Structure 1
């Protein structure tokens, strides 16, 4: 039996860093930045609590020039995308991983 699977992320938050732009060997450009989101909930005593989360975000293609013009620390964004896990070896040869959100669509708020 085949199970349908989904990798879909929607976030609304603020850019917690200015985007960094990188040109790859093939000439493609990417933008990387951090997006902060705040989750609010009630604890067991009924007190309102909030937790901040920071998400690594990567943008390709048509979103790079948009972020060059309009993206800066503090800018509110709504993004839709998917999670990507990447792997690399650090300087001591240990395999490391990190997860980022790869943008499919974004709205400047």
Structure 2
């Protein structure tokens, strides 16, 4: 039996930085920024706790001009995308990071 696999992420949060833009070979641009999300939960004593997460986000194609015009630190966004893990070498050590690649986005 084959299991259907899925790589899907939905987040609603705030941009914690202005986007940076990088021009790739062939003139394509990508936008990168960080997004924070907040979780609220009750601890064992019944106290409300907040947990903040920061996410690396990358946008391609039609989302780059939108972010150039409307993206700025503090902007609320709903994003839908997929996780991408990237690897690189730094002084002989293999490093990695995971980011969210946007498929769809709504500026809130």
Q: Given the two structures, how large is their TM-score scaled by the length of structure 1? A: 0.97
Structure-2 residue corresponding to 1:103: 102
Structure-1 residue corresponding to 2:77: 77
- For 2:54 and 2:26, locate their aligned partners in 1 and report how far apart those are by CA, in whole Å: 29
- For 1:2 and 1:24, locate their aligned partners in 2 and report how far apart those are by CA, in whole Å: 38
For residues 15-65 of structure 1, what are the alpha-carbon distances to aligned partners after superposition, in whole Å with 9 as ceiling and x for unaligned? 000000000123211000000110000111111100010000000000000
Q: Cα RMSD (Å) of the superposition?
A: 0.7
Structure-2 residue corresponding to 1:93: 92
- For 1:25 and 1:40, locate their aligned partners in 2 and report how far apart those are by CA, in whole Å: 43
Unaligned 5+ runs, structure 2: none
> How far off is 1:96 after superposition?
0.7
Number of residue equivalences: 108
- The equivalences for 1:45-60 within 5 A come to 45-60=45-60
Q: Tell me the secondary structure at the aligned position of residue 27 of structure 2.
A: coil
> How far off is 1:3 after superposition?
1.3
